Structure 1
Amino acid sequence: MLGMRERPEGVGDDLLAEELAAGWGIRARSVDYLPVGAGGYHWSVEGAWFVTVAEWSAGLEQALRTAAELASELDFVVAPVPTGDGAVVRRLADRYALSVYPLLAGTAGSFGPHRDEDRDAVLDLLIRLHATRAASAPRADLVLPGRDQLHAGPRGPWAGGPYAEPARRLLAEHAGSVAERLARFDALAGALPPPRDWVVTHGEPHPGNILWTAEGLRLIDWDTVQVAPAERDIWMLTGAESRYERVTGRRVSEAAVEFYRLWWTLADIAGYTADLRGPHTEGPDAAAALRHLAANLEAR
């Protein structure tokens, strides 16, 4: 959940260049770190490749395999470039996964609501995605990630780093609100569409993951792809529900839209809490995490 303005520990440009050569045959003479995004670290390589380093997990590898499968059918899916032996990621320094993408010319937005004039175009991508099938797609389990962080309570002191105690105080101040949201989350879970109606979803189709190119829209960042209720995507396009229903013939559940809106906020609270409760140092990423934690706790 921490931002990615600071570079990952133990991953220097020389190591990155070695791995790109070994895995993809890329001669990385020009390697430029891009302090953008969250959830992964990014570089521009040779002005032709967008390189990502993220925490390795079997789930990440499965998600990127799904993106590669979807890209064979959907032209807007930006999937990883396979290694020489056909893998979608390459293990890096034991802890990380390295993936490579074509560096596309285009403009992306930032997290937040879609502009009214963009909504239909984005919705059209999601309608096409929801009509596909991907055998490799992971299936949602509806378990809130990091929920144990919220149940642990704001007991202190927390000594993970300079922002640990401020984070604990924020959670203590908002403990009642968090408990209410968790209770509402659990109640809404029982009203979700049945699994037989689930579809392939992106999970985070906000403006920051939409790339506007001369060839059309592209949807990036597929590490969250899952088979899940369609509302997992639709809640980010407020005002698009009636058109989605008209085009697909599928009813949009208001309860499911609320569930996923609440999921996003609670998952962010849990993620920032875990980051700030654990070991960290003073720096722009941790400071931003504290600000985002406060904003999510205060949001209603």
Structure 2
Amino acid sequence: MKVDSQEQAFAKLTPDVLLDAVESTGVSCSGQMLALNSYENRVYQVGLEEGSSLVAKFYRPNRWSDQAILEEHRFTLELAEQEIPVIAPIIDNDGNTLLHHQGNRFALYPCKGGRAPELDDPNHLVQLGRFIARIHLLGSTRGFEHRPNIDLDSFMHRPSAFLLEHDFIPGHLVTAYETLLADLIERIEGCYARAGSFQTIRLHGDCHPGNILWRDEGPQIVDFDDARMGPAIQDLWMFLSGDRAYMSERAADLLEGYSQFYDFNPAELHLMEALRTMRLVHYAGWLARRWYDPAFPKAFPWFDSMAFWEEHILTLREQLAKMDEPPIAW
């Protein structure tokens, strides 16, 4: 797999380069640094000589244009201006949020702590619903210009083509995968047809429990790196898993809070399992596209195993059946 030389830039992101970049903004680092759980970008907690630690996020080359990154920053800053608890980038003395140093693009964020939400707690789900609805209320006021939509091309066609073209799928499973893929796309198109017309809005895009920091005063949300245009249900379904009865109960709590701030279109429930299926294929494609990065084989050693692909295909077959079922009740 041919890799652009720019995409090897993370190999040159040594601790000295990282600290020099942060100090180029006018702060003095203590030398303490901690790599945080991020693979698409490189994210570090950096100690300062004075004041609280900062979080420095270094963007992967060739993923987003500068305009797309700035669009993400503007969205989070708009949310912060409305006192919606997001972790927005720090604006420097020149009014910039996207910074450059030795060919690296980075942003600085305040360092905030928190725990994961308790998804079995109805009160947490109601609060989460209110919180996400406030994000969507502002997100619906205009669209992104430089960020893509959540669609079949981005989440199914391109990642599956990459997997097949670069021989990630074991040979004896290729025919089964291709046949299954065609059936999945047909079912996804059916789900979208049943959902009918729905509004696409600016979304967080990757709204899972790991991106929620729960504090005594309620939730805060981090990492808008995957912000896209799409249906509101995209930022809700990742809090809903398990059997149908359990998901229906959790959805009732989540949407109770959500509906207090923003109208939810129940037809979007037809999209839940379609979006879950699309995420599974997209995730496998993402791992494949990043396999050249030494951090990925180290962190995901199971990805190129026979067991993973057998399990992956089994999971997708289960999704095929779920997309034939009626949506959960609300």
Same fold (TM over 0.5): yes
Q: Among residues 92, 96, 99, which one is paired with 2:107 in the alignment?
A: 99
1:34-58 per-residue CA deviation (whole Å, 9 max, x = no partner) reads: 2513322221111511111221422
Q: How far 1:32 sits from its partner (Å)?
A: 1.5
Structure 1 residues 84 and 282: CA distance shift in structure 2, 3 A: closer
**Cα distance in structure 1, aligned partners of 2:171 and 2:133:** 43
**Cα distance in structure 2, aligned partners of 1:81 and 1:125:** 22
Letter in 2 for 1:284: K
Structure 1 residues 20 and 268: CA distance shift in structure 2, 3 A: same
Tell me which residue corresponds to 2:327: none
Q: How far 1:169 sits from its partner (Å)?
A: 4.3
Tell me which residue corresponds to 2:188: 185
8 Å Cα contact 2:127-2:257 kept in structure 1: no
For 1:60-75, what aligned pairs fall within 5 Å after superposition?
Answer: 60-75=69-84
Structure 1: stretches of 5+ with no match in the other structure: 1-6, 159-163
**Cα distance in structure 2, aligned partners of 1:221 and 1:180:** 33
**Cα distance in structure 2, aligned partners of 1:170 and 1:74:** 54
Tell me which residue corresponds to 2:285: 270
The answer on 1:49 being equivalent to 2:54 is: yes
Tell me which residue corresponds to 2:271: 256
8 Å Cα contact 1:63-1:222 kept in structure 2: yes
Tell me which residue corresponds to 1:216: 218
Tell me which residue corresponds to 1:240: 251
Q: How far 1:208 sits from its partner (Å)?
A: 0.3
**Cα distance in structure 2, aligned partners of 1:32 and 1:283:** 23
Identity across matched positions, percent: 16
1:159-181 per-residue CA deviation (whole Å, 9 max, x = no partner) reads: xxxxx5xx444862533323322
For 1:132, what is the secondary structure of its paired residue? helix
If each structure's helix is expressed as a fraction of its own residues, which one has the higher value?
2
Letter in 1 for 2:314: E
Q: How far 1:67 sits from its partner (Å)?
A: 1.2
The answer on 1:121 being equivalent to 2:130 is: no
**Cα distance in structure 2, aligned partners of 1:79 and 1:170:** 47
**Cα distance in structure 1, aligned partners of 2:191 and 2:296:** 38
Structure 2: stretches of 5+ with no match in the other structure: 1-8, 241-249, 319-330
**Cα distance in structure 2, aligned partners of 1:281 and 1:213:** 31
Q: Which has the larger radius of gyration?
A: 2
The answer on 1:145 being equivalent to 2:154 is: yes
Letter in 2 for 1:267: H
**Cα distance in structure 2, aligned partners of 1:283 and 1:250:** 40
Q: Among residues 94, 97, 111, which one is paired with 1:88 in the alignment?
A: 97
Q: How many residues align?
A: 279
**Cα distance in structure 2, aligned partners of 1:93 and 1:170:** 46
Structure 1 residues 84 and 193: CA distance shift in structure 2, 3 A: farther
8 Å Cα contact 1:43-1:51 kept in structure 2: yes
Q: How far 1:155 sits from its partner (Å)?
A: 5.8
Structure 1 residues 273 and 183: CA distance shift in structure 2, 3 A: farther
Structure 1 residues 288 and 92: CA distance shift in structure 2, 3 A: farther
8 Å Cα contact 2:126-2:257 kept in structure 1: no
Q: How far 1:261 sits from its partner (Å)?
A: 1.7
Report 1 or 2 for greater relative contact order, CA contacts < 8 Å, sequence distance ≥ 6: 1
TM-score (norm. length: structure 1): 0.78
Structure 1 residues 193 and 21: CA distance shift in structure 2, 3 A: farther
TM-score (norm. length: structure 2): 0.72
Q: Among residues 314, 319, 324, which one is paired with 1:298 in the alignment?
A: 314
For 1:39, what is the secondary structure of its paired residue? coil
